[in-house]
A and B are shown apart, each in its own frame.
Chain A
Amino acid sequence: MAEKLLEIKNLKQYFNQGKANEVRAVDDISFDIYRGETLGLVGESGCGKSTTGRSIIRLYDATAGEVKFNGVSVHGKKSKSDLKIFNRKMQMIFQDPYASLNPRMKVLDIIAEGLDIHGLTKSSKERKDRVHELLETVGLNKEHANRYPHEFSGGQRQRLGIARALAVEPEFIIADEPISALDVSIQAQVVNLLKELQEEKGLTYLFIAHDLSMVKYISDRIGVMYFGKLVELAPAEELYNNPLHPYTQSLLSAIPLPDPNYERTRVRKSYDPTSHNYEDGEEIAMREVTPGHFVFCSAREFESLKLTSAARV
């Protein structure tokens, strides 16, 4: 198997800890991200998928657990210079292309902000050239550098967000619902761009979204989250063809497809968390049912899942 770029171990992110309104947004999840792959993270709003992304990149201080990037812990004490090195390697693309660009800055300065912070360019000419190069990489042209964000459409703005993330030559990009705010035809353009850049620069993505058909298209592996827990993790094809956790099954059965004949026969399953009938003291954990396919289940469920999967093969 490929080299691990990121290891997330028992990550917990609680808000208002110890108070009556404590929220366990991310509750003890563990997974790895391999170099060069795209890991998709799906779930309904409020399930903690964005919080997971934000905790990984240290926008929040994790309540407990560990995030290791290239073997080095992300959270924990860091000197300013260490933090700077880390920040260069990990970048984020945000959901809302309207709110994530400063309306009072020119595109040139928005994209060059990272270059300035890290001192990556020596002269203002070099800085300008680098920005022009980045704009061309994402399919815009260099005349755009002197404009303000409001002069761009949604899809173009998302391209600016991508150019900004690429400016510091990161290894790992967290894309938090990068296409949810865009039109269908524009979504395809942005997704194709992300895929091309990945091939060109060997990037690793964590792709957070609730549009399951797009996630399947872009991801190598997919994790499904439900109420702060990771309930299933499997290669993309495997997850769609053989979803094992009842929540994943209900999520998949809810997607409408552009095919009227299929829609007339689609039966939606609903998920009832009490259907598991877990007994007190039963240990529920991620268990590997078939190679690479993990399900959050009890030992009892694990046995029956293994049997049914074996019967399928």
Chain B
Amino acid sequence: MEKILEVKDLQLSFHTFAGEVKAIRGVNFDLLKGETLAIVGESGSGKSVTTKAIMRLLPESSSEFKSGEILFNGKDLTKLTDKEMQKIRGKDISMIFQDPMTSLNPTMTIGRQITEPLLKHQKVGKTEAKKIAVDLLRMVGMPKPELRIKQYPHQFSGGQRQRIVIAIALACNPQILIADEPTTALDVTIQAQILELMKDLQKKIDTSIIFITHDLGVVANVADRVAVMYGGRIVEMGTVDEIFYNPQHPYTWGLLSSMPSLDTAEEKLYAIPGTPPDLLDPPKGDAFALRSEYALAIDMEQAPPVFQVSDTHFASTWLLHPDAPKVEPPLSIIERMKKFPGSRYYEGVRTNG
């Protein structure tokens, strides 16, 4: 598969009154053509900052690229000037934001907002742009697009607004679409519609999607590959099946266990104890060690390297070191692992009858 975006050892800090916040501390990943990569993690784990760094949307005055590069079509995005970046933003890489209520301009008709990137990036006239806008609205499932194009954002519901935001993002057929919690503010039924829409459109125009969310149900639904972020690093990365059925990092175990599933009725829900690390003064070992019951002595001293589990599966935890003691993951995780060929708890295919 062709790599479309490469993020290499990215480190980024914010300068605040309290000191230097090391928001991203060495992030590596590739994005392949046509795939959906989900990034999960709690607030403050650096998932939004990573994507904003790719889009160069962080304030220049307070943020600083410490090291690393973001390669897109052979160009390092961290080194581009504002002018050069403006040619990429909205054309080759576009973004859908979390809150459809605030990401549209309330004083402009939605027709003008959809045609804006077209007029800027593509050589089309106003009438042509309008025609494309109507088509785009029809594509995202908006009824009566010819009429609605003259309306303002307040005349639409939340789900409709998110469709409009998607239409704007797709206007120039971007190669990469970054969706930052696009369905978090929406109801489950509307969320289901938007997710289906995004998957359909992805098939049609073959974009790659980076999907940020903290809802693991949504991840299971949309993702091809998953990156789990914690404390400014990717702690585990793999295909969606590897992450859900053969997770290796204790933080991934914790995340998966804290979601109630519809069929289990356990007395108490698993809650990851403690709070996320303070990135003003990040822990020197494994950032998750202080909250983890599986932490080893070395976790406090030295950050774990990345261990390879399979060709596509990587995790950064000392538990995978050959000398580490064999620990039993939580019961609910073992239940998951039983379904995955290649995990040590795999039970094989049960024959029916």
A binds B: yes
A192 touches B268 (CB 8 A): yes
Which one of B142-150, B187-195, B304-312, B319-327 contacts A? B187-195
Is A184 an interface residue when CB atoms closer than 8 A count as contact? yes
Closest chain-A Cβ to B243's Cβ sits at a distance in Å of 9
In the complex with contacts A258-B220, A260-B241, A184-B189 CB distance below 8 A: no
Q: Which listed residue (A153, A188, A251) contacts B275, Cβ 8 A?
A: A153
Binary contact readout A250-291 vs B (1 if CB under 8 angstroms, 0 otherwise): 110011111111110010101000000000000000000000
Is B302 an interface residue when CB atoms closer than 8 A count as contact? no
Q: How far does the alpha carbon of A187 sit from the alpha carbon of B196 in the complex, in Å?
A: 27
Which residues from chain B contact A184 at a C-beta distance below 8 Å? Answer: 42, 214-216, 255, 258-259
User: Which residue of chain B is the closest to A257 with respect to CB atoms?
Assistant: B217
Interface residues of B in 259-293 (CB under 8 A from A): 259-262, 265, 268-272, 275
A213 touches B221 (CB 8 A): no
Q: How far does the alpha carbon of A279 sit from the alpha carbon of B198 in the complex, in Å?
A: 39
B220 touches A44 (CB 8 A): no
A255 touches B271 (CB 8 A): no
Which residues from chain A contact B188 at a C-beta distance below 8 Å? Answer: 44, 210, 212, 251, 254-255
B254 touches A185 (CB 8 A): yes
Closest chain-B Cβ to A250's Cβ sits at a distance in Å of 7
* Size range of the chain A interface in the assembly: 35 or more
Q: Which listed residue (A183, A212, A217) contacts B214, Cβ 8 A?
A: A183
Is A299 an interface residue when CB atoms closer than 8 A count as contact? no
Which residues from chain A contact B217 at a C-beta distance below 8 Å? Answer: 213, 255-258, 263
Q: How far does the alpha carbon of A257 sit from the alpha carbon of B240 in the complex, in Å?
A: 13
User: Which residue of chain A is the closest to B187 with respect to CB atoms?
Assistant: A44
Closest chain-A Cβ to B236's Cβ sits at a distance in Å of 15
A260 touches B261 (CB 8 A): no
Q: How far does the alpha carbon of A217 sit from the alpha carbon of B247 in the complex, in Å?
A: 24
Q: Which of B241, B260, B261, B265 has the most A CB atoms < 10 Å from its CB?
A: B260
Binary contact readout B221-248 vs A (1 if CB under 8 angstroms, 0 otherwise): 1000000000000000000110011000
Which residues from chain B contact A212 at a C-beta distance below 8 Å? Answer: 188
Is B158 an interface residue when CB atoms closer than 8 A count as contact? yes
Is B339 an interface residue when CB atoms closer than 8 A count as contact? yes
Is A309 an interface residue when CB atoms closer than 8 A count as contact? no
A258 touches B219 (CB 8 A): yes
In the complex with contacts A210-B188, A254-B189, A254-B191, A259-B271 CB distance below 8 A: no
Binary contact readout A165-187 vs B (1 if CB under 8 angstroms, 0 otherwise): 00000000000000000011111
Which residues from chain A contact B122 at a C-beta distance below 8 Å? Answer: none
Which residues from chain A contact B151 at a C-beta distance below 8 Å? Answer: none
Q: Which of A254, A255, A256 has the most B CB atoms < 10 Å from its CB?
A: A256
A185 touches B262 (CB 8 A): no
Closest chain-A Cβ to B132's Cβ sits at a distance in Å of 29
Is B103 an interface residue when CB atoms closer than 8 A count as contact? no
B259 touches A45 (CB 8 A): no
Is A214 an interface residue when CB atoms closer than 8 A count as contact? yes
Is A189 an interface residue when CB atoms closer than 8 A count as contact? yes
Which residues from chain A contact B214 at a C-beta distance below 8 Å? Answer: 183-184
Which residues from chain A contact B270 at a C-beta distance below 8 Å? Answer: 188
User: Which residue of chain A is the closest to B254 with respect to CB atoms?
Assistant: A185
Q: How far does the alpha carbon of A258 sit from the alpha carbon of B196 in the complex, in Å?
A: 17
Which residues from chain A contact B191 at a C-beta distance below 8 Å? Answer: 254, 256
Q: How far does the alpha carbon of A270 sit from the alpha carbon of B141 in the complex, in Å?
A: 15
In the complex with contacts A257-B220, A263-B221, A188-B271 CB distance below 8 A: yes
Q: How far does the alpha carbon of A183 sit from the alpha carbon of B44 in the complex, in Å?
A: 10
In the complex with contacts A214-B260, A257-B262, A260-B241, A185-B42 CB distance below 8 A: yes
Which residues from chain B contact A183 at a C-beta distance below 8 Å? Answer: 42-43, 214
Q: How far does the alpha carbon of A237 sit from the alpha carbon of B195 in the complex, in Å?
A: 27
A258 touches B261 (CB 8 A): yes
A258 touches B189 (CB 8 A): no
Is A150 an interface residue when CB atoms closer than 8 A count as contact? no
In the complex with contacts A191-B269, A192-B269, A259-B220 CB distance below 8 A: yes
Is A78 an interface residue when CB atoms closer than 8 A count as contact? no
Is A216 an interface residue when CB atoms closer than 8 A count as contact? yes
Binary contact readout B75-86 vs A (1 if CB under 8 angstroms, 0 otherwise): 000000000000
Q: How far does the alpha carbon of A263 sit from the alpha carbon of B191 in the complex, in Å?
A: 14
Binary contact readout A232-257 vs B (1 if CB under 8 angstroms, 0 otherwise): 00000100100000000011001111
Is B337 an interface residue when CB atoms closer than 8 A count as contact? no
- Shortest beta-carbon contacts, A-B, top 10: A256-B217, A258-B216, A188-B271, A217-B260, A44-B187, A254-B192, A188-B258, A189-B271, A185-B272, A256-B221
Given A257-B261, A270-B189, 11 other A-B residues pairs in contact with their CB atoms under 8 A: A44-B187, A186-B271, A187-B258, A189-B271, A212-B188, A217-B260, A256-B221, A257-B220, A259-B244, A260-B245, A262-B220
What are 11 sample pairs from A and B whose C-beta atoms fall under 8 A apart? A185-B271, A191-B269, A195-B268, A210-B187, A210-B188, A255-B217, A257-B217, A258-B256, A259-B220, A261-B339, A263-B221
